[in-house]
Amino acid sequence: MTLQVVPTQPFSGQKPGTSGLRKRVAVFQQPHYLENFVQSIFDTVGAPEAATLTLGGDGRYFNRQAIQIILKMAAANGFSRVLVGLGGILSTPAASCVIRKYKTYGGIILSASHNPGGIDGDFGIKYNTPNGGPAPEKITEAIYESSKQITCYQILDAPDVSLDGIGETRLGDMVVEVISAVDDYAELMSAIFDFNAIKALFASGFSFRFDAMHAVTGPYAREVFINRLAAPETSLMNAIPLEDFGGGHPDPNLTYAHDLVTVMYGDNAPDFGAASDGDGDRNMILGRGFFVTPSDSLALLAANARLIPAYAQGIAGVARSMPTSAAVDRVAEELGIPCFETPTGWKFFGNLMDAGKVTLCGEESFGTGSNHVREKDGLWAVLFWLNILAIKRQPVENIMKRHWAQYGRNVYSRHDYEGLPTDAAAGVINHIHASFISLTGKQFGRYTIQVCDDFSYTDSVDGSISNNQGIRILFVDGSRIVFRLSGTGTEGATLRIYLEAYEPNRGQHHLDAQVALAEMIQIALDISELKQRTGRDVPTVIT
C-alpha cells in the first residue's frame, strides 16, 4: 500500500447547497470530482491526531464506490479509525447518533436525501461536525473555497475493504470498523420513548403501515417496529433498500408515497401510516384517510411532549424554519417557551440545540427532530406519534382536530414549480421584490397585506447573519405567503410557494387545504405574475 499524491484541477460546480453537494451521479463519476471535494473537506476541517471519522450513506447507486474512495483518502489524510455502517449504509439520523455516541471527529454522509437515485439519479455528500449536525455555513463556504484552489489530493493505493461483515480491517495505518448502527439507533430510540406502551398498543390490535420507500430505513424499521415493538410483519412496506429505490422518488409526501397513500385512503385503512425518505431523516404522518401536515405535526408534538419519557420535564423551546407554518408558535406561546424562526435547512437548528435553547424543531418539508441527534429524524417522529397514540388511544384525525379546536388552525400548503428556466424564476423573485412598496397595505378580499420582506436571520448563538432567505408576504390576520427558490434542486430552478391562512374559528373551516386556500393561491399567482413570467400556473408538486 502506498500513499499517492494525485495532481488535480479544481472543478467549477462544487458549491454545496442547503444540504451539501448534490449532483447527478454522472457528475460525481468524473475523474477526481469526488476526490477533490473530499480532500477539500479534509483540508478544511484538519483532523487532529488519532481522529476517528464516521462514514456512511443512504445506499443509493455509487454509494459503495464512493465509500471505498473516501476510506482510502481518510487513511492517506491521517485518520486513525473510520466507523462505517454495514454495507456502507447509515441513515442520516443514525450517522448523527454514531458521531455523538462515539465522539468521532464528525462524519461524512453520502446522500441526495429524497432525490431519485440510480445510475441516472442524484448523488450527494456532506460533512457533519463533531456535534453530529451538518456543517455550518462558514465551514461549507471554506470547503467550497478550498475546492476552487485544490492542486492535488492524497489517497492510499490499496485494495477495497470488505464492508459486508461487522468487524475491523486495517487500511494502511488506519482501522476500518464496520458497525451495525441499527442497534445503536434502536437503543437511542428506546431511551426516549415508552416502548412498553407502544408494544401494548400493537398488542391491542392497532394497525400500522410504514413505507420505507425502498430506501435506507427498511432495516431500522424492522429492528424497531418488528423486533423491539412486536408490530405485525404486515406493518412494513417497501422495506428492502435498493440502489435506485425501486425506480421511485423516495420523498414521503402525498404525491410520491403513493403506495402508502393508496392503503391509507382505501377501504379498511390501517389506524396509522407513516413513511420516510431516501436517507431516513424525513417523515410523513397519516391517519385513516387523513393527512397531517408537517407543520401541524411539529405543533402537535410540541403540545404533547410531556407525554414522552425523554421530554416529561418539558421542553426548553422550539424552532421552525421560516416557511413552516406558525402553528407551533401558538403552542410555544401557550407553553410559555421561546419559538425561533430560522432559515430553511437543518443546520440552523444545531446552534440553538447545542446552546440548550431548543428541544424540538421542524420544517414544513417533512422534517422533524429533537436534541437527541443533530439531524431531523424520520423514525423518531413516527415513534413520537406512536407514543402519543399509545396514550391517547384516539384516531389521528380526532387528535389533530382537538388540537385545532384549542389553538386554531394554520391551513397550509406548499406549491412547487420544478424545472423552471433559471432566468424566469429569478425574474419572478425580482418582480415581487420590486413590488414590496406597492403591495404594503394592499387588500385582496378578506386578506390585507401588512408588510413584505426578504427574510434574514441573525444566529443568536454565534451572531452569524444569513440574508436573502426567502420573501415573506405577511397579512394582517397572521396569514402568510412565502416565495423561495430551492437550494437542493439539480435541474433548472424550483420555485416554492408556501401558503398559509390562519383560521382562528376553531374547527369550522374546510378540511381540504386546497379549497380553504383558494384565495391565497390566487393572490400568490397575481402578485408573482407567475403565468406571464414562466408560462405555468399549475404546480408540479403540491404538499
Instruction: Compute, in degrees rounded to 10, the torsion defined by CA atoms 117, 122, 126, 132.
Output: -30
Least distance in angstroms from the C-beta of 345 to ligand G1P: 5
Spatial separation of the C-alpha atoms in residues 247 and 26, rounded to whole Å: 17
What cell numbers appear for 12 in the block?
Answer: 467549477
CA dist., res. 39 & res. 77, Å (int): 8
| Integer Cα distance of 371 and 374 in angstroms | 6
Cα–Cα distance, 111 to 106 (Å, whole number): 16
- The partner in contact with residue 88, picked from Zn ion, ligand G1P, none with C-beta cut-offs of 5 to 8 angstroms by kind, is none
Residue labelled with grid coordinates 434574514:
456
Which residue, judged by CB position, is nearest to Zn ion in the bound state?
Answer: 113
User: Contact at 8 Å (CB) between 379 and 221?
Assistant: yes
Residue of 24, 11, 104, 13 whose CA lies nearest to 56: 104
Type and span of the H or E element at 381: helix 378-392
Q: Which of 253, 344, 351, 410 binds ligand G1P (CB under 6 A)?
A: 344
Instruction: Report the partner that residue 368 touches, choosing among ligand G1P, Zn ion, none (CB closer than 5 to 8 A by kind).
Output: none
Q: Does 325 bind ligand G1P (CB under 6 A)?
A: no
Cross-sheet strand order for the sheet of 208-211 = 236-237, 208-211, 272-276, 283-287, 290-292
Residue among 279, 363, 364, 503 that touches Zn ion (CB under 5 A): 279
Q: Does 290 bind ligand G1P (CB under 6 A)?
A: no
Report the residue from 346, 348, 385, 447 that binds ligand G1P according to the rule CB under 6 A: 346
* Residues of span 87-116 touching ligand G1P by CB under 6 A: 113
Our finding on whether 253 is near ligand G1P (CB under 6 A) is no
Q: Does the protein bind ligand G1P through residue 345 (CB under 6 A)?
A: yes
- Interaction partner, residue 287 (ligand G1P, Zn ion, none; CB < 5-8 Å by kind): none
346 binds, among Zn ion, ligand G1P, none (CB under 5 to 8 A by kind): ligand G1P
Considering the complex, what minimum distance in angstroms separates the CB of residue 115 from Zn ion? 9
With CB under 6 A as the contact rule, the residue among 325, 488, 490, 543 that binds ligand G1P is 488
Task: Select which of 96, 111, 113, 370 is catalytic.
Answer: 113
Selected range binding Zn ion among 105-113, 133-141, 380-388, 498-506, rule: CB under 5 A: 105-113
Q: How far is the CB of 181 from Zn ion (least distance, A)?
A: 16
Query: Half-sphere exposure of residue 2, counting CA atoms within 13 Å on the CB side?
Result: 3
Cell of 102: 462515539
Q: How far apart are CA 141 and CA 125, in angstroms?
A: 14
Give the binding range for ligand G1P (CB under 6 A) out of 124-132, 166-174, 223-231, 340-348: 340-348
Beta bridge partners of 542: 415
Tell me how far apart the alpha carbons of residues 117 and 297 are, in angstroms, rounded to a whole number: 28
Among 4, 8, 18, 65, binds ligand G1P (CB under 6 A): 18
Asked if residue 277 binds Zn ion (CB under 5 A), the reply is: yes
Query: What are the cell numbers at 36?
Result: 477533490
- The option from Zn ion, ligand G1P, none interacting with 496 (CB < 5 to 8 A, set by class) reads ligand G1P
Specify the stretch interacting with Zn ion by CB under 5 A; choose among 5-13, 270-278, 293-301, 506-514.
Answer: 270-278
* Residue whose grid cell is 420505507: 212
d(CA 100, CA 105): 9
State the minimum distance, in angstroms, from the CB of residue 510 to ligand G1P: 26
Please identify, using beta-carbon distances, which residue of 231 and 482 lies nearer to ligand G1P.
482
By a kind-dependent CB cut-off of 5 to 8 A, residue 279 interacts, out of Zn ion, ligand G1P, none, with: Zn ion
Reported as half-sphere exposure (CB side, CA atoms, 13 A), residue 434 has a value of: 8
Indicate the angle between helix axes 181-192 and 92-101, nearest 10 degrees: 80
Residue 141's CB: how many other CB atoms inside 10 A?
A: 14
Report, in Å, the least distance between residue 3 CB and ligand G1P. Answer: 36
Check residue 365 for interaction with ligand G1P (CB under 6 A): yes
Cβ proximity to Zn ion: between 209 and 282 the closer is 282
Q: Which of 184, 223, 363, 375 lies at the binding interface for ligand G1P (CB under 6 A)? A: 363
Work out how close the CB of 282 gets to Zn ion at its nearest, in angstroms, rounded to a whole number: 5
- Answer with the entry of Zn ion, ligand G1P, none that 321 interacts with (C-beta below 5 to 8 A by kind): ligand G1P
- 91 binds, options Zn ion, ligand G1P, none, Cβ within 5 to 8 A by partner type: none
Which H or E run contains 276?
strand 272-276
476-509 residues labelled b (16+ CB within 10 A) or e (exposed): eebbbbbbbbbebbbeebbbbbbbbbbbeeeeeb
Give the single-character DSSP code of 159.
Answer: P
Closest by CA to 381, choosing from 365, 393, 402, 392, is 365
By CB under 6 A, is residue 487 in contact with ligand G1P?
yes
Out of 281, 296, 364, 459, the only residue in the binding site for Zn ion (CB under 5 A) is 281
Query: Residues 494-513 vs ligand G1P: string with x where CB under 6 A?
Result: --x-----------------
8 near ligand G1P, rule: CB under 6 A: no
113: annotated active-site residue: yes
Using alpha carbons, select from 362, 187, 233, 234 the residue that is nearest to residue 292.
Answer: 362
Our measurement of the distance from residue 132's CA atom to the centroid of its chain's CA atoms, rounded to an integer in Å, reads 14
**Minimum CB distance to Zn ion, residue 276 (Å):** 8
Q: List residues binding ligand G1P (CB under 6 A).
A: 18-19, 113, 321, 344-346, 363, 365, 367, 486-489, 496
Q: List residues binding Zn ion (CB under 5 A).
A: 113, 277, 279, 281-282
The catalytic site residues sit at 113
